[in-house]
Amino acid sequence: MASICNPILPGFHPDPSIVRVGEDFYVATSTFEWFPGVLIYHSRDLVHWRLAARPLARRSLLDMRGVEASNGVWAPCLSHDGEHFYLVYSNVLGKTGAYWDVHNYVIRAGAIDGPWSEPVYANRSGFDPSLFHDDDGRKWFLNMIQDPRPGKNRFAGIVMQEFDWQAGGLVGAEQMIFQGTALGCTEGPHIYKREGFYYLVTAEGGTSWEHAVSVARSPSLRGPYEVDPENPCLTAWNEPGAELQKAGHGSFVEAPDGSWYLAHLCARPLGEKRRCMLGRETALQRIEWSADGWPRLAGGGRAPRVEVGAPDLAPAPVPPGPDTLYFDTPELPPVLQTLREPFEAPWGSLRERRGWLRLRGRMSLYCTYEQSLVGRRIQHFHTTAETLLDFSPDHYLQTAGLAAYYDDQDWLYLAISHDEEQGRVLRLLVNKGHQLSEPLPPQPLPFGEIRLQARLEAPDLRFAWAPADSEDWRELPISLDASALSDEAGARWRFTGAFFILCAQNHTLADRPADFRYFAYRPLS
């Protein structure tokens, strides 16, 4: 039997929602403040996956200007009613204080790559919405509901209300169907119907080490729901030796051969600090059904496994993507994303200088409104990132370069800038917990294009540079702790993942574009 090796989607792919349409499997994952919103992956065998769609690619579908890090798109739900794909998603505008300020939407498309409709507004009472299509054709919208009142359970439970696409939103009365278990933090609801029962699958225990998948069932959609007597179905809590930690937020799928699988998020801690610098990732576990109709991990126990049996399906390998992205196409390669808004003129262009990515610097890496950057996920503990940069600043408030970036709170930046005495210089900027430092003095640079490199051998990161015509990399004499680019390292509640980014900043009125020839990402053996 073929094997599935977890995580199937490494590096910042949390909150998976899995669905099968015929012979095709699709998984949608959260993207938070990164744009386009939601990544959808496709597979024919549950072993090999390719990026198939990025549906929230228009401003009319997703407005995130100003949202703080770890806000934006939370926990999408992808479903199919036999005719259309439906995508339900939250846009969280804020999570500070007692309230979550959130809007929930529904869009649909006839094909996974669109075109996707304009959004239908659903509600704003909580996050993690999902859509269940019942056998009678009716559709039901679910989400966790918040209760910010003092002394109340902030995660008050799961509510359900009928959704009517033609009517343009929710209809009828809202009903509380589940108030959760003692694990708490009940969220991420999905409903499945099997052999006369409605199964309600929820995430519980919070987003960190105590995360879990809980299951309850009822012969009636409206409940009451009976909790699995062996709940939770999946968790790595109290399994510190498990390679996959933080296991939770699950969704079910049945393969064509009748086997069942649970898609869930997980994370892989590194070293003594147990920091998960690749973020929360997506994994699959094989499910068996007990004699009394409850889902159980194949092989027993509750802890996730790195290797599980694949379904009996024909292998469907996917060609690997290129290690080096050259900017000679009219659109950004799909593996690249921007922050909070689309890649567009005047700050970004692939046309002004043929074969180059041009970035016009805007605000600093602290800003939540105007960033001039493109990035790709860090998906390996050992890898390099590299670029060739043509940039001629004439002021110290003009910078551009290559960075390892988690959010506005933590980043490591190799930047080309200007010094009044030395002219063009190379600067190493370290931002840890919003505290900026420069551990090395600025270094003068020769005239011409400059290659920049980041070498990650987790948790250590080292930067290097070289003239464009040289293979003689000049490594900076300092090793940086890249584990700071993780959920656990921050002082605030956060849960995204690390990126390598190409970026530019300019706090002057002079037009000093930064031109990047390529963006290479090469895993180390």
Half-sphere exposure of 507 (CA within 13 A, CB side): 10
Place of tokens 């049945």: 254
CA distance 179 to 184: 9
Residue 87 is encoded by which pair of tokens?
A: 């995508």
What torsion do the CA atoms of 184, 188, 193, 199 make, to the nearest 10 degrees? -10
Is-contact 358 514, C-beta < 8 A?
yes
CA dihedral 378, 400, 462, 431 (to 10 degrees): -80
Burial of 252 (0-12, 13-18, 19+ CB in 10 A): buried
Catalytic residue positions, numbered: 370
**Token pair listed for 116:** 């996707």
Pair 388, 468: CB distance under 8 Å:
yes
**Phi, psi dihedrals of residue 16, rounded to the nearest 5°:** -70, 135
> Is there a contact between 266 and 204 (Cβ–Cβ < 8 Å)?
no
Nearest to 267 by CA among 259, 278, 256, 258: 278
SS3 171: strand
Q: Quick one: CA dihedral 115, 117, 122, 123, positive or negative?
A: positive
